[in-house]
Copies of this chain bind each other. A is one copy, B any other.
Amino acid sequence: MLYTALSKSEALKELALQREKYGEYRKMGLSLDMSRGKPDREQLELSDGMLTVLSTPDQCRPETLGGQDMRNYGVLDGIPAAKELLADILEVPPVNVIVCGNSSLNIMYDTVVRCMLFGSSPETEPWIKQGKIKFLCPVPGYDRHFMICQSLGIEMINIPMNDDGPDMDMVEEYVAADPQIKGIWCVPKYSNPGGVVYSDEVVRRFARLRPAANDFRIFWDNAYAVHGLYDTEDKLLNIVDEVEKAGNPHMVYEFASTSKITFPGSGIGCIAASTVNLNYIRSLMTVQTIGHDKLNMLRHVLFFNGPEGVRDHMKKHAAILRPKFEAFEEAFDGELSGTGVAKWSKPRGGYFISFDMQIGSAKRVWNLMNDCGVRMTNAGATYPYGIDPNDSNLRIAPSYPPVSEIKIAAGVLICCAKIAALEEILGADADA
């Protein structure tokens, strides 16, 4: 039954019930962490073969590389076989890929910094010389994207997310009108945190953007390209192809890594873009480094032994993650349906569930949960500057805890959300 349709006495009774439940949860002395999208131990174990797959010196001089020794200096932009591996994940030609170090976040940061200091092309001004510049930020979104902008003094503009991607009317209007808008952050497949897969139409509208700024770039963080939870695949239209077709070939930087495929922190990351973009990036990268860790690239190549290896491996991840997502969904469906207390995403992949409550409830719920020993990503974190204008969104990261703990955490969240909703409805009466 809709909470807003409850009579005052019914609402008070329900609140008393939930507070009692909450008291019981508190007594349990919980210590659960659902704050970050970390793989669990079982997922890590899927990649233990990585520890032994590269074990002989001969493997370090693969014939495919003309006998070049991977143990020595050289190869600025990644070994060819690693380019192929990541190119397959992103469905782009290997020539459009530069393989870097262990972190796509670091590649994104460096890419923004390069644009700041040198411009997004040799023909355009460094962003830092162009006054106050701005990025569009579909919300809710990924806190670490927003932190990059905030740290560099780039103004952020919220763009609402729909079920098929960002509000493209708004995106088109903004970028056409304001030459100070230089970029947009996108997680186009299983978005963080909403789990949205951008529709073909949305991808095409991105590709056809006509920005007022000739140095505008789409930061396409395809972090979950192969991270579906179900057998039936969700297809994302290939942005690198689409910008090419639309006559905007240089407008997109795409990013990916194996952080949530093999070992987070010991994976390999990449940037994909037009050859012109990559040549420019290489010309600046060569000042920064002689090259990234080729042995770790080789480990990945040997471990997967081709694209089929990645797909098989990701099915094993899905089998571990799926029950965790479903445990939340079942609990929410069972206990929140029809109450009007919250809406939640039902992602078919990625690492997060987005949980939307009444306006003004998120911080209250976060605090209630925290006091109960259940750690969530900070309320507001999914918005630029950490400010959720409605204070209504929480991000749930189901990957790390076991299902048994998830069931408890879901119960706590449901209880806290109900308390916050009833307090809102009852106002001063709640504590009468």
CA distance A381 to B147 in the complex (A): 39
Indicate if A320 sits at the interface (CB-CB under 8 A).
no
Check if B287 sits within 8 Å of A265, measured CB to CB. Answer: no
With a CB–CB cut-off of 8 A, which chain B residues contact A259? 73
Q: Is the CB of B263 within 8 A of A72?
A: yes
Q: In the complex, are the beta carbons of B44 and A289 less than 8 A apart?
A: no
Which listed residue, B52, B110, B293, touches A293 by the CB 8 Å rule? B293
Nearest B-chain residue to A113, judged by Cβ: B113
Assess the A293–B266 pair: CB atoms within 8 A.
Answer: yes
Q: Which of B47, B102, B117 contacts A71, CB < 8 Å?
A: B47
CB < 8 Å neighbour of A73 from B109, B117, B147, B265: B265
Task: Mark out the residues of chain A between 140 and 177 whose CB falls within 8 Å of any chain B CB in the assembled complex.
Answer: 144, 147-148, 151-152
Could you say which of B38, B51, B101 contacts A54, with CB atoms under 8 Å apart?
A: B51
Considering the chains assembled together, what is the distance between the CA atoms of A109 and B288 in angstroms? 6
With a CB–CB cut-off of 8 A, which chain B residues contact A36? Answer: 73
Q: How far is the CB of A78 from chain B (nearest CB, A)?
A: 11
* Chain A 264-289 residues near chain B, CB threshold 8 A: 264-266, 284, 287-289
**Quick check: is A45 within 8 A (CB to CB) of the other chain?**
yes
- Bound-complex Cα distance A103 to B110 (A): 15
State whether the Cβ of A74 lies closer than 8 Å to any Cβ in chain B.
yes
Chain A 46-58 interface 0/1 with B at a Cβ cutoff of 8 Å (1 = within):
0110011011110
Chain B residues contacting A113 (CB-CB under 8 Å) are: 113, 117
Interchain residue pairs A-B with the least CB separation, the first 8? A266-B295, A73-B264, A109-B288, A151-B287, A44-B71, A106-B289, A71-B263, A102-B293
